[in-house]
Chains A and B, each alone.
Chain A
Amino acid sequence: MGKLIGIDLGTTNSVVAVMEGGTPVVIPNQEGSRLTPSVVAFTKDGEILVGQIAKRQAVTNPENTVFSIKRFMGRRYDEVQQEVKLVPYRVVKAPNGDARIEIRGKQYSPPEISGMILRKLKEAAESHLGEKVTQAVITVPAYFNDSQRQATKDAGKIAGLDVARIINEPTAAALAYGLDKKTDEQIAVYDLGGGTFDISILEIGQGVFEVKATNGDTHLGGDDFDQRVIDWIADEFKKEQGVDLRRDRMALQRLKEAAEKAKIELSSTLQTEINLPFITADQTGPKHLVMTLTRAKLEGLVADLVERTVEPCRQAMKDAGVTAADVDEVVLVGGQTRMPKAQDLVKQLFDKEAHKGVNPDEVVAVGAAIQGGVLGGDVKDVVLLDVTPLSLGIETLGGAMTVLIPRNTTIPTRKSEVFSTASDNQTAVDVHVLQGERPLAKDNRTLGRFRLEGIPSAPRGMPQIDVAFDIDANGILNVSAQDKASGKQQQIAITASSGLSKQEVDRMVKEAEANASDDARRRQEIELRNQTDTLVYSTERALAEHGAKLADAERSTVEQALNEAREAVKGDDIERIRRSQETLSRASKTLADAVYRESRGGGSGPQSSGAPKNGDVVDAEFRNIDDRKP
């Protein structure tokens, strides 16, 4: 059997790798580069260019140069209105509703375009290995749905590759660090690439990876960081010289390169010189751009960009039901994670050092190659499983959605349930396959529907119809229905005809969560009440023990705060409880200070500085209890 290659089919760049002698090796393309831009161009002469060459001619041929095709994979035209506005090529609606790219009057499906990129990578691998390559493992974002995965598989097929497995990008990254050897750990994968940010929380148990939650920002990445640096340099130069370099296309070109170079250098040095002699000229003669950019300044310029990754991380942890303390491993993916500021933030968020060592631009492809090695028999002992991003079910009586496979179920999986007819002498049933988290069928997404006919006439509730959902290891769903009496069967394979946008997934999940948010608020209230209660208790004790050490005024402040907190906890006014807790915790601090003052003066032991510490300990207990909940 030939080698299985691993491919990271990215939005901006793609990478191919393979196992050689038990080690993953990134394969350079025909131009000698390890990263291949995910760009495809169609020239006037009918030539198809892929990669760096396509990128170089983009300016001359913008409407026939396709980039970011990944954003259209397995998506319907109506779902990608925002994306369509951001690209210079023409996106049209196919008869089946899918997004298609129109080039010189001919329509191409996104899998066809991706297939061209994959073909180039396949050829690079073949020329490197000196043998034919027919099989590949391709990675996709964890949030990709069935149709996006299917579209990726199709792209492989179009490129002449049998796609042995589609795996999630964060899973591949974890695999590259050998985390499959761990047991029962939580892994956070922080992926800040050229144009997208993804955070995923994985769980590894017995060599099986499960994606527990994902979040991110589809339009945030290294390019935005570059832009900040470009703008800063241009603004400074304008202030000093009165010339806006952004209006001079030639100068801007140099500026872009210098900005990216400075950004990269500042990952390893504390300051760098941006030196662009003869950047422009006016009546007075040539002008030079010489500036110093420090790491601190750069960090200031991009602070809000880095900050934008925080909320998705918190949300992902919340969705996964873990806290930072539960996360055992952190993996960094994407070139922008080389920035120390990004690494600091990750360290702060998850309270531990991230894995380093594998090139973050290549780590996903490396993991895919390892998985390829597993499937090809070169590597053993890794099983890879993923989960469904949304619940799957069918429409039942009254327009309800009955879930057969709940969201985040590890796949491959099979689930069947017996249903019956809703009215007497009903001889056919419609099986309406749905995806989503809402209780009503109409609020969820239709994946497909079919009709099972020929059910023998019977009173309602009598016929037994076995409906089975089967998701294979690649996340492709097969639904079948069989009437037990007549043996009549009907089925459907849900493939690439449609798909959900990430936004839709997000929206559906959020809508379903909106109901749950009441519960969350109530839980927060309970926690606040409990915390306040504990603080009242510990302050009372401290006051009884050390109250004599306080001045009268101080003592009465603490007592007042105590009374107010006691009263507040009895009532239902949450704001009042919150305020009283804050006042009391300030007051108890003056108590602690006084005790400390006293103990230092009196030389007594450290045990007397107990009051606020007690609060902390109890607080930690609360968290622990929460943690133990499944």
Chain B
Amino acid sequence: MQRIDDGMGDRNTDADRRIAQDDEVERLRHTLDEEQQRHLRLRADFDNARRRASRELEAARRDGQRGALLPLLPVLDSLERALAAGSTDQDFYEGVAATHRLFVNALHEAGADPIDAIGQRFDPKVHEAVATLPSGSVEPGFVVREVRRGWRLGDELLRASQVVVAAPREAAGSWR
């Protein structure tokens, strides 16, 4: 009994040591797991932050461009209205028309291009309807008339076109 007990005691200390080692290994493994998880998370966070930062940088650049270009568009609108009104002075008219071309080219170089509207199917993503008009020749839902030209900046909308949309005969209304 006694010996066996002693033997057991030896084995116990052995076992104790092994258990303690196992515990330590388990603890370290757990810590490692945790740290790896944290590391992964941090890397993911960093990755997300970097991606977002580059996206935000791009957005900020676009915002800056928009801010610079948008106020110029009404000036162009007026120039176009002047051309539409015409002039009896042919030379003066030519000069204004040439100025207008310069303006449009300058916008193009800055990355802005006009949006097609007339004859297109009305698309609220780029067109803003200001009125509807029953039309015999144009299919309902298509743009009859462009009131103000729309512009895009790259593949983003800079300013929606303002358009009149062909309506079926009954309804020609205005909202607001």
Contacts and interface: CB of A to CB of B under 8 A. Distances in A.
A277 B84 CA distance: 12
A594 to B, nearest CB: 64
A53 B124 contact: yes
Interface string B162-176: 100101000001110
B127 interface: yes
Contacts of B78: 277-278
Interface in B27-71: 48, 51-52, 59, 62-63
A49 B124 contact: yes
B174 A250 contact: no
Interface string A36-75: 0000010010000100011011111010010000000000
A277 B82 contact: yes
24 contacts: A28-B59, A32-B59, A32-B63, A56-B124, A56-B127, A56-B128, A56-B160, A57-B122, A57-B129, A59-B131, A59-B132, A59-B174, A60-B129, A60-B132, A65-B175, A88-B175, A128-B52, A249-B130, A250-B131, A253-B148, A253-B162, A277-B78, A285-B85, A286-B85
Contact of B129 (A32, A56, A88, A281): A56
Nearest to A128: B52
A278 B85 contact: yes
B75 to A, nearest CB: 10
Contact of B122 (A49, A60, A285): A60
A88 B173 contact: yes
A62 B173 contact: yes
B3 to A, nearest CB: 60
B81 interface: yes
A65 B52 CA distance: 34
Given A250-B130, A277-B78, A286-B85, A59 B175 contact: yes
A582 B168 CA distance: 70
B138 interface: no
Interface residues of B, number: 32
A608 B129 CA distance: 74
Interface in B118-155: 122, 124-125, 127-132, 141, 147-148
Nearest to A285: B85
A58 to B, nearest CB: 4
B165 A59 contact: yes
- Give the residue among A41, A54, A60, A130 with the most B Cβ atoms within 10 A: A60
Contacts of B141: 44, 60
Contacts of B165: 59-60
A434 B82 CA distance: 67
A147 B124 CA distance: 35
B82 A53 contact: no
A31 interface: yes
B125 to A, nearest CB: 6
Given A88-B173, A286-B81, 16 more contacts: A28-B59, A31-B157, A32-B156, A56-B124, A56-B129, A56-B160, A57-B124, A59-B173, A60-B122, A62-B173, A249-B174, A250-B130, A250-B131, A277-B82, A278-B78, A278-B81
A128 B49 CA distance: 11
Interface in B85-110: 85
A59 B85 contact: no
B147 A253 contact: yes
Nearest to B52: A130
Contacts of A88: 173, 175
A280 to B, nearest CB: 10
A130 B55 CA distance: 11
B48 A130 contact: yes
B60 to A, nearest CB: 11
A33 to B, nearest CB: 10
Interface string A277-319: 1100100011000000000000000000000000000000000
A55 to B, nearest CB: 8
B81 A277 contact: yes
A53 B162 CA distance: 13
A249 B85 CA distance: 18
- Give the residue among B124, B156, B160 with the most A Cβ atoms within 10 A: B124
Nearest to A62: B175
Given A130-B48, A250-B147, A281 B125 contact: no
B69 to A, nearest CB: 14
A561 B49 CA distance: 80
Contact of A59 (B48, B129, B160): B129
A54 B129 CA distance: 11
B157 A253 contact: no
A196 to B, nearest CB: 17
A57 B161 CA distance: 12
Interface string A59-101: 1101001000000000000000000000010000000000000
A44 B121 CA distance: 13
A53 B147 contact: no
B149 to A, nearest CB: 13
Contacts of A57: 122, 124, 129
A547 to B, nearest CB: 69
Interface string A19-38: 00000000010011000000
B147 A281 contact: no
Contacts of B156: 32
A347 to B, nearest CB: 32
Interface string A224-266: 0000000000000000000000000110010000000000000
